[in-house]
Amino acid sequence: MPNELSESESQKVMGNIPDSEKVLKNKVAIITGASRGIGKAIAQRFAEAGASVVICARNDGLLKKVSAEITSKGQQCLALRADVTSENDVAETVKKTLDTHGHLDILVNNAGMVRDNLIARMKPEDWDIVLSTNLKSAFLFISAAAKPMIRKRSGRIINITSVIGIRGNAGQANYAASKAGIIGLTKSAAREFASRNILVNAIAPGFIVTDMTDQISSEQRELITKEIPLNRLGQPEDIANAALFLASERASYITGQVINVDGGMII
């Protein structure tokens, strides 16, 4: 028997996803903080799945690079520079998305930052910037994106929280509070928008290899790995796969949930 690949298998080997597997075909998705790390992986996964992605972050150069990588594969991507803490930038991002595509189906609130310190040493401005970047931004985007989704009577909102928002962490009170806030925001928005068929969920990543976790020493990495039952750190693609599921039709009876993607850190 010759070891022949089926048409769909050979398309995948060529890097092309067959049309039948483009589960986000005709969908428009905004992904915040998509210039690198987890946001970039989500944008790439969604674009592969047929979505027109709109990516935003502050670093214009990196954003354009990600956009060029995606469009070079014949996929759709619009890069919009935006600071997610700015109400004006958020409104402009949603407006330009609607001007370009006419509708908005999926919002991924992913942009985030850390500014770690023990509470006794943490400055109020370190508290404010982390809460504003990680939490207020999600409120601003949900508020702006909900209007076109309500009109369409359909939408998906995926907020990126963290295992730290569930269990806390010494030295990360501001970050943990922002991520716990994301969980409360997710559950409340899920209840508010369920009647309009807008599903709102959160993903709680564990320890994922990105710039955010780059500065951790190899000793600390070893200690963290010991805490992970699957015995490895996560990759941005692990989060992107969960986001793709939540954005797809297959998740149409799931709302108000927090899905841990953490190798079993929290069981």
Report the alpha-carbon distance of residue 146 to residue 156 in Å, rounded: 10
Shortest separation between residue 43's beta carbon and ligand NAP, angstroms: 10
Report the alpha-carbon distance of residue 246 to residue 27 in Å, rounded: 13
Q: Which residues contact ligand NAP (rule: CB under 6 A)?
A: 33-39, 57-59, 62, 82-85, 110-113, 133-134, 160, 162, 205, 207-208, 210-213
Shortest separation between residue 145's beta carbon and ligand NAP, angstroms: 15
* Closer Cβ to ligand NAP, 122 or 209, answer by number: 209
Shortest separation between residue 135's beta carbon and ligand NAP, angstroms: 10
* Closer Cβ to ligand NAP, 21 or 69, answer by number: 69
Report the alpha-carbon distance of residue 193 to residue 140 in Å, rounded: 15
Report the alpha-carbon distance of residue 60 to residue 17 in Å, rounded: 29
Shortest separation between residue 95's beta carbon and ligand NAP, angstroms: 17
* Closer Cβ to ligand NAP, 76 or 85, answer by number: 85
* Closer Cβ to ligand NAP, 52 or 133, answer by number: 133
Shortest separation between residue 189's beta carbon and ligand NAP, angstroms: 17
The set of catalytic residues is 175
Report the phi/psi class of residue 77: left, alpha or beta, with left for phi > 0 and alpha for psi in -120 to 50: beta
* Closer Cβ to ligand NAP, 47 or 208, answer by number: 208
